[in-house]
Amino acid sequence: MKLEGTTVAMVTPFTREDTVDEEGMRENMNYLLERGVNGLLAAGTTGESATITHQEQKKMMEILVDEVKGKAAAVAGAGSNSSKEALDLVKYAEDVGADYALVITPYYNKPQQHGLYEHYKMLSESVDIPIIVYNVPSRTGTDIDVETIGRVAQLDNIVAIKEANPDLDKVSQTIHKLKSLGQEDFLVLSGNDNLTLPMICQGCKGVISVVGNVDPARMSEMVNKALEGDFKGAQDLHYELYDLMKVLFVESNPVPAKEALNMMGRPSGHVRMPLAPLKKESQDELRKVLLDLQLI
């Protein structure tokens, strides 16, 4: 399945008993698919990958593949700070039939750049499933640099990077580097909703989105217009969604996104500790934005 466009980094809905809400997860998937998204990501950062068990994570991969059934790209969150654990998760994603595995740069360990390369090289040589590198230095403490991205892009099965470093000049450097290596087919995807439009202008091919959980139709339309070259139409939608893009990060992701879905009456539930519920003043700010967008 094609990876370009809008892939939604889905929240993980929980029941009151703190189990994964399978029925709610399936309901959310169909809601998103009906509104034109190009891909669905389960068990990513927005899916609270840090506090779901590997058993839950693997079950979510199974649900994802079963429900999507080829209607969009099925992307399985499969990273870890342990290369051995990451390999187990990526292999499982491949075994259940996911289209892609999203593999975050190992966190906490702070591996060297050549360590990052060896991590992805080992995965590439061990599986056939296409792998998306996920770079989010604000959470991992490590930033994969342009030279390393260039090396990783030349590995078999490593097909894209979700770039959540907010440095737009790095995006230009990365795409320039990929062109110089003849790796134009390697996709750069935005990992920040509010930077998606400028990143597409630089040559990125889409977004893995948090906002798409809440307003998938407008987010998809913005990305599609930008990819089609209708930058005025995309700009109008960017500013229409801008307050939502900002308020969904007023506290740690995915706390505001899950609260937004709760306000909208969609499956979401609580966040797992050590995340805590959204503060009252943030709830008020979020509710106003949702009302302004006529989402509630």
Task: Give the pLDDT of residue 278.
Answer: 98
pLDDT beyond 90 at 41: yes
117 belongs to the catalytic site:
no
* Domains of the chain, residue spans: 5-228
In CATH terms, is domain 5-228 a member of 3.10.28.10? no
Written as six digits, the tokens of 245 are 């893009």
**Tokens 């187990």 identify what position?**
88
Query: Does the annotation count 162 as an active-site position?
Result: yes
Digit-coded pLDDT (tens) for 42-79: 999 999 999 999 999 999 999 999 999 999 999 999 99
Identify the burial level of 172 via C-beta atoms within 10 angstroms of its C-beta, where 0-12 means exposed, 13-18 middle and 19 or more buried: middle
pLDDT in tens, 110-124: 999 999 999 999 999
Question: Has residue 31 got a pLDDT over 90?
Answer: yes
Write the DSSP string, 82-111.
Answer: SHHHHHHHHHHHHHHT-SEEEEEPPPSS--
**Which tens digit of pLDDT belongs to each residue from 225-240?**
999 999 999 999 999 9
Residue 257 has pLDDT above 90, yes or no: yes
Q: What is the pLDDT of residue 240?
A: 98
Instruction: Report the SS3 class of residue 221.
Output: helix
22 vs 224: CA distance, rounded Å: 30
pLDDT computed for residue 143 by the predictor: 97
Cα–Cα distance for residue pair 84/124, rounded to 1 Å: 13
Cα distance between residue 285 and residue 246, in whole Å = 11
pLDDT tens digits, 71-105:
999 999 999 999 999 999 999 999 999 999 999 99
For residues 59 and 25, is the Cβ–Cβ distance under 8 A? no
> Which member of 92, 134, 205, 258 is catalytic?
134
Considering the candidates 58, 59, 162, 258, report the single residue annotated as catalytic: 162
Please tell me the distance from the alpha carbon of residue 118 to that of residue 275, in angstroms, as a whole number: 32
Is residue 136 helix, strand or coil? coil
* pLDDT, tens digit (0-9, with 9 covering 90-100), for 160-199: 999 999 999 999 999 999 999 999 999 999 999 999 999 9
pLDDT score, position 1: 78
Q: Helices (DSSP H) in 97-214: which residue ranges?
A: 113-126, 137-140, 146-153, 168-180, 196-202
Asked whether the beta carbons of 186 and 30 are under 8 A apart, the reply is: no
Inter-residue contact 76 to 40 (CB < 8 Å): no
